[in-house]
Structure formats: structure tokens, C-alpha cells
Amino acid sequence: MPMRQPRLQPLLRWLLLMMVAWLGLQVFFLARIAVMARLAPESTAFERSEAWRLVSTKDRLRWRQDWVPYAQISIHLKRAVIVSEDDIFAQHDGVQWDAIEKAWAKNAKAELQASRAAQGKVAPKIVGGSTITQQLAKNLFLSGERTFIRKGQEFVLTLMLEATLDKRRILEIYLNHVEWGEGIFGAEAAAQHYFQKPAAQLSPWEAGRLAVMLPRPKHYQKFPKSEYLSGRTDIIVTRMGSAQVP
């Protein structure tokens, strides 16, 4: 009587194939990042998804994204973005672990308040702890969904970016591709749209205002006279002198 093959073997083969596929994907990502040390990325995954959304929902695509070299971006904008988004950008290895721990604690508290939201009160705000490098990793390669698998991939990409590119290049790519409104990507497009001037000529106050918009660019594009936007801009401007710019 022939012996029956153990059922574990197909499972191990499947797991091996999945691991090889995952490693192959990481090699692909690493190669893409290595190319970015020399060549500017033409677009990001987030930009492509936004372009598709706009084409699907609008009569025409209104889009602006103009790459400018690092030296042609105002030092004030570099300082403002670092102060607003990632105050120890020049020191960390891509991840602010303390910020992540605080974000987890705030989100756990928010989950306890979820029942109140169900009773008609304002839903609790879920916060993140992403650095500039993490934001760039997500925008370059990943979708907007929030899952543990996607977050894990974001960490791997973040470490790849930090190991392959210097801080100056990371900030340069970030500032040229970050969203500043619907169909508005990069510092040059933002400076032209909001202040009718090139990114190199942004004043400290204009740079601070753009930096404050980053967490919710589409919202502040619709409400440019927001009291929070003005008040937060003043705070960022006063702190810009402490920023360490690569």
C-alpha cells in the first residue's frame, strides 16, 4: 500500500514561495531606491493614485508638479517642514520610536472613547508617529490603506531609504513630491499656486504656512483663512531657527 504524502509539505512549499516572492519584492524596492540616488523619481504611488482619482471624478485633470533641485528650495521651507513634521530628522535612523510609542498610547485612549463617538459625539482623532522618511516611503511605494502588513513594509522601506540615500536627498525628494492640495505636488507647485513665486523665494511666514498645511493639505486649501492655520504658522515661524537642516 503506497504511503500517503504528508499534508505539511504543500504548506511548506507555499510558505517558501511566499518568502521568495517577498524577498524579490524587497530587492525590487531597493533597486528603485538606489536609482533615486542619481535620478529623481518621476512620480510616486500616491501621486498616481490621486491622478486616477481625479480623472475618475473630475471633468479634467488639474495637476502641477515641478521638480526643482535642493538648492532652489527656500531654506525657510526646509526649516519649517522639519520643525513641523520631524524635528529630529537630522539625527534619527528613519523612525522616531518615542513618537510611535506616544501615538500608540493616544490611539489606545481614542479606542476607549469610540463608544462616545457612536453616541453622537465627535469621533476621536487617530494620530500617527511618522517621520519624513516614513512619509516618503509610504508615498513612493505604498497604498493609503492602514494595515499591519503595510506598516511593516513601510518600516522596511524606511530603513532602505536611510541606508541608501543621505538626509539631504531624502528631504529633496520629499519636498518635490509631497502633496500641498488637490493636484498640487512639490514645493515649486505649492509656492506658485499659493504665493505666485518660485520655491526659492518663499519668506519665513510663507514657508511656515505651507508646512502647517501638510497634514491636511486639501482641507486647508479649501479653508485658507482658518484660525488654526494662522496661529500654528506663527508658532512654526518662531521655532524655525532651531531646525537642523541637512
CATH code for position 221: 1.10.3810.10
Answer whether residue 17 is part of any domain.
no
CA distances from 180 to 31, 138, 222 (A): 28, 16, 12
| Geometric angle at alpha carbon 235, from 83 and 135, rounded to 5° | 30
Mean pLDDT taken over the chain: 86
Q: Which amino acid is at 56?
A: S
Whether the CB-CB separation of 190 and 180 falls below 8 Å is answered with: yes
pLDDT at 124: 42
**Burial track 213-241 (b if 16+ CB lie within 10 A, e otherwise):** bbeebeebbeeeebeebeebbeebbeebe
Answer whether residue 9 is part of any domain.
no
Query: Residue 202 and residue 237: Cα distance in Å, rounded?
Result: 13
pLDDT higher at 146 or 119: 146
pLDDT higher at 102 or 23: 23
Answer whether residue 180 is part of any domain.
yes
pLDDT at 143: 79
Highest mean pLDDT among 50-59, 126-135, 164-173: 164-173
pLDDT one-digit tens code per residue, 145-190: 777 888 889 999 999 999 999 999 999 999 999 999 999 999 999 9
CA distances from 4 to 1, 7, 8 (A): 9, 9, 12
Split into its structural domains, the chain has a count of: 1
pLDDT at 125: 43
Answer whether residue 246 is part of any domain.
yes
57 has pLDDT over 70: yes
Answer whether residue 80 is part of any domain.
yes
Whether the CB-CB separation of 168 and 70 falls below 8 Å is answered with: yes
Query: Residue 14 and residue 146: Cα distance in Å, rounded?
Result: 26
Answer whether residue 116 is part of any domain.
no
| Share above pLDDT 90 across residues of the chain, in percent, rounded to a whole number | 65
Answer whether residue 224 is part of any domain.
yes
Rg (CA), the chain: 21
pLDDT at 59: 64
Answer whether residue 135 is part of any domain.
no
Q: Cβ contacts of residue 155 below 8 Å, gap of 6+?
A: 95, 134
pLDDT at 144: 73
Task: Give the range among 52-56, 65-69, 172-176, 197-201 with minimum mean pLDDT.
Answer: 52-56
Q: Compute φ and ψ for 2, nearest 5 degrees.
A: -65, 145
pLDDT one-digit tens code per residue, 192-229: 999 999 999 999 999 999 999 999 999 999 998 889 99
State which residues form the domain around 218: 63-92+165-246
